[in-house]
Amino acid sequence: MVSHQVNRLNEGFRETMERPVELVKDYPLSATMIAFGMGLGVGVLLSQTLCSSLMETFEPEPTMTERLKKQVYDAVSHVLTPSMMRQFQHYTS
């Protein structure tokens, strides 16, 4: 009884594996395009995942304007009172 079930499973597996082979033989261009598209999609997803994780480790260098803004802000913060600094932050935000 067990060997009969194993034989049925083997036959079902064999039929399942033969069907895609027949489809590829009948439609070679479509099968090739599907495989190419899937490979391209997987490649894009992998490269996007790798590049985004690498880009998170690098912080962009501040621009000249950002550096100048920080210098002015630091210089002004030493001169103005805390209440004036809050007002200054409100205008520069």
The reported pTM is 0.44
Q: Where are the domains of the chain?
A: 1-59, 61-93
pLDDT in the model for residue 42? 93
Given a contact cutoff of 8 angstroms between Cβ atoms, the answer to whether 31 and 23 are in contact is: yes
Number of C-beta neighbours around residue 31 at 10 A = 14
pLDDT in tens, 72-86: 888 888 888 888 888
Closest CA to 5 of 20, 17, 13, 18: 13
Q: How confident is the model at residue 38 (pLDDT cuts 50, 70, 90)?
A: very high
Q: What is the mean pLDDT of the segment spanning 35-53?
A: 88
For 81: left if phi > 0, alpha if psi spans -120 to 50, otherwise beta; the answer is: beta
pLDDT in the model for residue 23? 82
